Amino acid sequence: MSRLSLQKEKLRPEGLLNKYFSGESMNYRQIIALFIPILIDQMFVVGLNLLNTAMISSSGMEAVSAVNMVDSLNMFLVNVFIAVATGGTVVVAQYKGSGNPQMVSKSAASAIASVTLIAMAVSTLVIALHNPIIQLLFGTASPGVLDNARIYLIGSGLSFTGIGIVQAVCGALRGIGKTRESLFLSLITNVTYVLLNLVLITLLDMGVEGMTIAVNAARYIGAACALFYLFKKEETMRIRVKEMFHIQGAMLKKIMFIGVPFAAEQMFFNGGKLLTQIFIVGMGTYATAANAIGGTIAGLSQIPSGAMSLTIVTVVGQCVGRRDIADARKFIKSFIWLSSLSLLGMTLLILPLFGPLVSLFGPPDEIMHDLFLLTLINLLAQIPLWSISFITPAALRAAGDSKFTSIVAMLSMWLFRVVLGYILGVALEFGVIGVWLAMNCEWGVRGTIFLLRFRGQKWYKHKLI
């Protein structure tokens, strides 16, 4: 074949996929098979969240503000046990890559049992301390917002064990590459949630009370389906019920090696987000509503990239399990570039549709200017910054480099997003836009640090299995 023919072959879609997404560990077809179900899952999760926000907006801006405030706290709490589930995903993926099915089963069982126990403990604490939590974090909000927030916080706390089980089982399935089955379980949970919200909020006009009933029913239905599949249908992991009650110390240590730093990172990271949320609550109900709607649109724009950040954990985990660092490096670079291109594409898609999208929430005219401005700034900033800030640490963590990534994320959050958010948003009175600008700056700082770490060798030197 001539040199010109070879160059043409490389420029074809299949040639490009082979060049950037195929290696000794896996090929582009396997990566696409992992990615597509996760992408569909993210589309449903974010899309259904958009519908839920639109539905609750029919109950007024106080309801929207209350749900958004409590969801900031929920994200802080739920991510603690999701972090442990991610530790399980990494360990399962590395054992899968090394070709050790017995250890795949043991690591998956330990991860699921651990996450369930942690979720139950967090749930108990939140329900017992709901009044002090509400007063401490959101005491400056209006009485109507506080009443709605109290109801939603108790209801959310009751559902934590259900979502913990779903996340743990889905994480183990992603670790062995069964993203299609993980998608199915996630869809059961999220579609049920939206359908129940449609009935309870839109048709029966139950407002925040209806949403709390819906979230509990959906998450426990999802948990029941996840456990049924795990014990009756899943053949690769072959987990038995009694294994869930026998957590091995050595295996738990491996999971916690990844999970604990990530959990600490999530607590500090989401704690920082929660603090910036408190800044915004102090700016009034309109600012809180603008932040909620802007966050929903941002989540919509990040769907493909978010799916890539989950996919890269399995891909890099299995590469490192085989000790194929060259493939891991290649795939990380390819995912970063592809994620940035997808963010550019989503920006070009969302900006012309801004009006119709925002109209779903029925926002007051007073917030439209700020809402468009923060959306525009965020969409443009995330094209070069989001991928290096989120894809890179997910990949480093999958290789076992959890401590470094967690420390960097915690420090950058508190030194830049929180402090700068207060300076720009409160002290200089830029409002909610100033808080979002600080967030974009923080992405750039920590993303640069992660890229420098990736260029070195320390990130893959950890011996996890």
Structure tokens that stand for 240 in this block: 């038995």
Checking if the pLDDT of 302 tops 80, the result is: yes
Region 21-37: mean pLDDT is 86
pLDDT of residue 387: 96
| Residue 64 falls in which region: left (phi positive, over 0), alpha (psi -120 to 50) or beta | alpha
What is the chain's mean pLDDT, rounded? 83
Checking if the pLDDT of 260 tops 50, the result is: yes
Checking if the pLDDT of 337 tops 90, the result is: yes
pLDDT of residue 247: 65
More confident call, 246 vs 231: 231
Region 242-264: mean pLDDT is 72
Checking if the pLDDT of 6 tops 50, the result is: no
Neighbour-count burial for 193-210, b at 16+ CB within 10 Å, e otherwise: bbebbbebbbeeebbbbb
Checking if the pLDDT of 265 tops 80, the result is: no
More confident call, 372 vs 465: 372
Q: 133-137, 338-342, 443-447 — which is least confidently predicted?
A: 133-137
Region 6-19: mean pLDDT is 65
Q: Write out the DSSP string of 284-339.
A: -HHHHHHHHHHHHHHHHHTHHHHHHHHHHHHHHHHHHHTT-HHHHHHHHHHHHHHH
Q: 286-295, 297-306, 323-332 — which is least confidently predicted?
A: 286-295
SS3 letters across 401-444: CHHHHHHHHHHHHHHHHHHHHHHHHHHCCCCHHHHHHHHHHHHH
Checking if the pLDDT of 8 tops 70, the result is: no
More confident call, 30 vs 361: 30
pLDDT of residue 49: 67
Tens digits of per-residue pLDDT, 144-191? Answer: 777 878 888 898 889 999 989 998 888 888 888 888 888 888 889 888
